[in-house]
């Protein structure tokens, strides 16, 4: 009992499982399963790849944008550093000098290149009265300036500080400040405070716009080139407060939309830096990458799919061929058994002396001969087919009269089929045909195969025509029957090995599916072609077209 249970529970062997699946699905089902097993993961992979690429497109476009922003910010910092550093040095003025007399003795702080980058150095003292002095570079002294746009701009900028000084409010920070209310006179100011943190005056510089656009900005842009690796596609432009481009560096040409803009810090804060890729925007760059990667994946997937389809197609053909082969084996057995049985019966009747009438003896002898010829033809076809398949088939060409070969073939065939009521109408050309190099035995076999088919597939009809005609270029042998005909879609396939039209009347007709495959091979070896005209229910004409001219192979040529 226990034994039985364990036997029942035992897992099926893999072979059994496979054959169960095969039986459940059928052969086509197994192929479809294989197809799905390849296509579904491929589709999933493509979808995942697509989503990933979409993500990558977004992040890479962001990364590129961030890189441009980073560079813009570094340029802005560079400008900031240049001016802040220079101003810190120039405006380092001691508070002790802010006395009525002392203020005249003030000098700009020491700097290797003097006032470079600035138009003017000035100080304002709030000590006794508000007192503005400009530095005269030529006389190297501080002087009281005459009224000008500059003095007006400076007074406008410093007056709020003056108010603070008057109130004696302590100043928390002595950091540099920038006043850009007057765009033509941008100044950097440093509050000067005494020990009690009270404002005693201001030291300031007016920025020189010419130096800014021709020296400071280009230098700052160039300084970032090494760090960010210029590939020549980047265009860096600077726009002033009115939107005019005051400077452009890098790739020429109309910049694409979608670059980054960055405001300058410290001085010229109403000016803009714009960084654009002259070749493509970060978005189009990312999209190009996306398209390239996606097309690559799609192409690979297609190639893979084509490979899978090819394999499945081959497998499906192999399956069909193996089915045809097994049909072939049973057809051959049947084809052999029937004539052998007839021969044996007629032979026995004659041996036992059951037939004394000479007419009957001749008739039975005729049957035996017909059946033996039939057997010979079948065996020849099978042997030839096996030689063709293994590449050992040899054709022996010699000059011959085609009409003669056909006449002989028809004559021997006529004997076989006359008793069944068939009439073969042979039409030979009136004028002798030009001699042609052929393999006599092979052409005889091809004609016999066509005649055999004409008889087998004649249905009720009993008339067969064989025509031989030709001109100086070719010879045509045509065999016509008025039988069942061949459906349009089968016209090419009937020449395939083992293929038999699988409908209607044909089922009742014996055959192994090799006759026409051999006919085609023979005609190919002669450099010719087989033509087929047929109409379902009305009959068929098979024509062997053999060329006369050069190109016909030599006397002994393996196929």
The CA–CA distances, whole Å, from 492 to 100, 449, 484, 499, 541 equal: 118, 17, 17, 10, 14
Return the H-helix or E-strand segment holding 372.
helix 358-390
Burial of residue 212, with CB atoms counted within 10 A of its CB: 0-12 exposed, 13-18 middle, 19 or more buried: buried
Which of 198, 373 has the CB closer to ligand ADP? 373
| Identified binder of ligand ADP from the candidate list 165, 205, 514, 522, rule CB under 6 A | 514
Query: Under 8 Å CB-to-CB from 109, ≥6 apart: which residues?
Result: 88, 89, 90, 91, 92, 93
Which positions from 429 through 458 interact with ligand ADP, judged by CB under 6 A?
449, 453-454, 456-457
Question: Min. distance of Cβ 442 from ligand ADP in angstroms?
Answer: 15
Q: Which CB, 103 or 388, lies closer to ligand ADP?
A: 388
- Return the SS3 of 144: coil
Options 264-272, 402-410, 464-472, 511-519: segment touching ligand ADP (CB under 6 A): 511-519
Tell the smallest beta-carbon distance from residue 494 to ligand ADP (Å).
4
Between 60 and 453, name the residue whose CB sits nearer to ligand ADP. 453
| CB nearer ligand ADP, residue 80 or residue 373 | 373
Region binding ligand ADP by CB under 6 A among candidate stretches 130-138, 276-284, 302-310, 512-520:
512-520
Using the minimum distance from each CB to ligand ADP, give the nearer residue, 303 or 536: 536
DSSP state of 214: I
What does the per-residue mask of binding to ligand ADP show for 307-326, with x meaning CB under 6 A? --------------------
Question: Can residue 484 be called a binding residue for ligand ADP (CB under 6 A)?
Answer: yes
SS3 at position 501: coil
- In angstroms, the CA 195 to CA 92 distance is 15
Q: Does 516 bind ligand ADP (CB under 6 A)?
A: yes
Q: Where are the beta strands (DSSP E) in 118-264?
A: 118-125, 131-136, 141-143, 177-179, 187-193, 199-207, 234-239, 245-250, 260-263
CB of 526 to ligand ADP, least distance (A): 18
Asked if residue 470 binds ligand ADP (CB under 6 A), the reply is no
d(CA 399, CA 384): 22
Stretch that binds ligand ADP, among 68-76, 120-128, 137-145, 507-515 (CB under 6 A): 507-515
For 81-107, give the secondary structure using H, E and C: HHHHHHHHHHCCCCHHHCCCCHHHHCC
CB proximity list for 449: less than 8 A, separation 6 or greater: 377, 381, 515, 516, 518, 519
Cβ neighbour number for residue 84 with a 10 Å cutoff: 17
494 binds ligand ADP (CB under 6 A): yes
| Residue 222 contacts residue 82 (beta carbons within 8 Å) | no
Q: Residue 153 or residue 516: which is nearer to ligand ADP going by CB?
A: 516
Query: Within 10 A of 272 (CB to CB), how many other CB atoms are there?
Result: 18
Instruction: Give the nearest distance from C-beta 332 to ligand ADP in angstroms.
Output: 10
Contacts 24+ apart (CB under 8 A), 487-493: 487/536, 488/536, 491/532, 491/534
Q: How many residues bind ligand ADP (CB under 6 A)?
A: 22
Which uninterrupted H or E stretch holds 213?
none
Return the number of the residue (9 or 508) whose C-beta is nearest ligand ADP: 508
Rounded Cα gap, residues 396 and 415, in angstroms: 28
227 contact partners, CB below 8 Å, separation of at least 6? 74
Site for ligand ADP in 540-559 (CB under 6 A): 540
Site for ligand ADP in 187-246 (CB under 6 A): none
Does 483 contact ligand ADP by CB under 6 A?
yes
Candidate residues 76, 486, 525, 545; the one interacting with ligand ADP per rule CB under 6 A: 486
Q: Which of 200, 206, 273, 512 binds ligand ADP (CB under 6 A)?
A: 512
Pick the closer one to ligand ADP by CB: 201 or 483: 483
Q: How far is the CB of 424 from ligand ADP (least distance, A)?
A: 14
Question: Binder to ligand ADP among 339, 515, 522, 523 (CB under 6 A)?
Answer: 515
Contact range with ligand ADP by CB under 6 A, out of 36-44, 62-70, 397-405, 504-512: 504-512
Q: What span, in angstroms and rounded, lies between the C-alpha atoms of 522 and 172?
A: 112
Q: CB of residue 543 vs ligand ADP: minimum separation in angstroms?
A: 12
For ligand ADP, which residue of 57, 208, 283, 481 counts as binding (CB under 6 A)?
481
User: Tokens 């001109």 appear where?
Assistant: 471
The answer to the question of residue 500 lying near ligand ADP (CB under 6 A) is yes
The binding site for ligand ADP (CB under 6 A) comprises: 449, 453-454, 456-457, 481, 483-486, 494, 500-501, 506, 511-517, 540
């Amino acid at each position: 009992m226990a034994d039985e249970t364990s036997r029942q529970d035992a897992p099926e062997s893999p072979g059994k499982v496979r054959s169960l699946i095969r039986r459940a699905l059928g052969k086509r089902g197994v192929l479809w399963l294989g197809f799905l097993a390849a296509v579904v993961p491929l589709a999933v992979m493509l979808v995942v790849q697509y989503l990933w690429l979409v993500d990558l497109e977004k992040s890479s476009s962001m990364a590129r944008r961030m890189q441009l922003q980073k560079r813009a910010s570094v340029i802005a910092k560079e400008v900031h550093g240049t001016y802040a550093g220079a101003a810190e040095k120039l405006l380092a003025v001691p508070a002790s000098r802010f006395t009525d007399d002392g203020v005249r003795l003030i000098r700009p702080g020491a700097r290797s290149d003097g006032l470079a980058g600035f138009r003017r150095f000035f100080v304002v003292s709030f000590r006794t009265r508000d007192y503005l002095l400009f530095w005269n570079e030529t006389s190297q002294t501080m002087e009281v300036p005459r009224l000008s746009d500059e003095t007006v701009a400076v007074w406008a900028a410093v007056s709020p500080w003056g108010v603070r000084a008057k109130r004696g409010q302590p100043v928390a920070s002595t950091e540099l400040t920038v006043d850009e209310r007057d765009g033509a006179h941008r100044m950097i100011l440093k509050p000067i405070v005494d020990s009690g943190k009270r404002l005693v005056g201001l030291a300031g510089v007016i920025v020189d716009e010419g130096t800014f656009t021709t020296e400071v900005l280009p230098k700052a842009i160039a300084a970032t080139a090494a760090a960010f690796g210029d590939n020549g596609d980047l265009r860096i432009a600077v726009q002033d407060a009115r939107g005019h481009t005051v400077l452009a560096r890098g790739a020429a040409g109309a910049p694409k939309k979608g670059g980054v803009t960055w405001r300058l810090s410290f001085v010229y804060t109403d000016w803009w830096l714009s960084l654009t890729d002259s070749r493509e925007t970060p978005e189009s760059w990312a999209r190009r990458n996306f398209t390239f990667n996606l097309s690559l994946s799609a192409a690979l997937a297609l190639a893979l799919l084509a490979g899978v389809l090819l394999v499945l197609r081959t497998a499906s053909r192999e399956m069909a061929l193996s089915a045809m082969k097994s049909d072939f084996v049973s057809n051959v057995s049947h084809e052999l058994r029937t004539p052998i049985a007839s021969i044996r019966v007629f032979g026995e009747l004659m041996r036992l002396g059951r037939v004394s009438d000479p007419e009957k003896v001749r008739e039975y002898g005729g049957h035996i001969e017909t059946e033996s010829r039939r057997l010979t033809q079948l065996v020849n076809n099978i042997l030839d087919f096996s030689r063709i398949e293994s590449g050992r088939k040899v054709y022996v060409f010699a000059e011959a009269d085609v009409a003669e070969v056909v006449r002989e073939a028809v004559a021997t065939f006529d004997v076989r089929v006359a008793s069944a009521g068939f009439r073969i109408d042979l039409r030979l050309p009136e004028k002798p045909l030009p001699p042609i190099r052929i393999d006599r035995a092979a052409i005889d076999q091809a004609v016999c195969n066509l005649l055999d088919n004409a008889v087998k597939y004649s249905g009720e009809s009993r008339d067969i025509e064989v025509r031989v005609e030709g001109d100086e270029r070719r010879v045509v042998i045509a065999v016509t029957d008025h039988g069942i005909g061949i459906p349009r879609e089968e016209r090419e396939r009937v020449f395939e090995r083992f293929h038999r039209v699988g409908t209607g009347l044909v089922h009742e007709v014996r055959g192994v599916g090799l006759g026409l495959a051999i006919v085609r091979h023979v005609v190919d070896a002669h450099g010719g072609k087989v033509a087929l005209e047929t109409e379902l229910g009305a009959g068929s004409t098979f024509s062997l077209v053999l060329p006369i001219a050069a190109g016909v192979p030599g006397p002994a040529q393996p196929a």
